[in-house]
Amino acid sequence: MTATTAEQSVNEHGPLRVIAARRGLPNGRALLGAFLVTAAALGTFALATGGDEGPSVAYLVLQGDVPAGGAITLGDVEFVPMELGSSLVSTALTTTAGLDGATALRDLRGGELLSTNDLLAAPAIDGLTIGAVHELTFGVPLDRTPPGLRQGDRVTVLGTTDTQTSVGVEDAVVLSIDTEPGQFGSSGHGVLTLAMDDAETVLALTHLTQTSDITIVRSTRAIDDVYPESTLSAADLGSDLGRGASDDE
């Protein structure tokens, strides 16, 4: 019988196993270094991804449909945090300033992001929005317009013909006044823009400015005063009607 030697046993079962001493646990300095490296890596990741807080800017979004020409109120919008591309950030609204009473320039749908390109802001005076109004612009003679008239003043517009002086509008709000001679029409005329909330008054004043000599009266300090409809009294009107009737006879 052939003897089995130790050498044969090793060759038959593969290479020798090497038994080495167990390595010791890392010391405190090594643990601290590993912690700092890990913390730095996490910080870099947070900066790159923006952390877990989500979008930091909220934009205004419509809650319901608004047709073109319709007014937008603060109840129609809500703030929604979101991330936008640079092309949208420049026009997206992040504040409600000037929004209450703004006019939609196209049909807007609920859920849409509000853009300055889609709105005509409500006129404001000294930061105070005056709501949705008609804006009427017409030429005024500077010699019959109070000096120092400014935005926010209240004015009454009078129109005078050969026979009477009529009231076009009372206590209208001045939106702008351009008093530079030669900028509109002949020298000595300016451009006045008023805010009015009644379409019938807009129509009547437009006719008055085209058919009468216009006088602007500042009424800021006399809002409670009420003008008669015209300088043509009821008695004069009655006598005129009487003469007309007698002439017909």
Condensed to tens digits (0 to 9), the pLDDT of residues 59-113 reads 999 999 988 878 888 899 999 999 888 888 888 888 887 788 788 888 899 999 9
Residue 45 has what pLDDT? 46
Q: Are residues 139 and 210 in the same domain?
A: yes
Q: Which residue matches tokens 């050969």?
A: 162
Among 3-17, 65-79, 166-180, which is the least confidently predicted range? 3-17
Residue 225 lies in a domain: no
Residue 156 has what pLDDT? 93
Residue 169 lies in a domain: yes
In three-state secondary structure terms, 14 is coil
Q: Quick check: 104 and 69 in contact, CB under 8 A?
A: yes
Residue 187 has what pLDDT? 62
Q: Are residues 75 and 148 in the same domain?
A: no
Number of domains in the chain: 2
Q: Are residues 142 and 114 in the same domain?
A: no
Q: Quick check: 66 and 89 in contact, CB under 8 A?
A: no
Residue 161 lies in a domain: yes
Q: Are residues 148 and 212 in the same domain?
A: yes
Share above pLDDT 90 across residues of the chain, in percent, rounded to a whole number: 26
Residue 159 and residue 247: Cα distance in Å, rounded?
Answer: 29
Residue 140 has what pLDDT? 94
Query: Measuring CA to CA, which residue among 93, 173, 70, 94 is closest to residue 128?
Result: 173
Q: What angle do CA 235, 205, 103 make, to 5 degrees?
A: 145
Per the structure, the complete domain to which residue 169 belongs is given by 134-218
Q: Are residues 104 and 141 in the same domain?
A: no
Q: Are residues 112 and 168 in the same domain?
A: no
Q: Are residues 153 and 184 in the same domain?
A: yes
Structure pTM?
A: 0.52
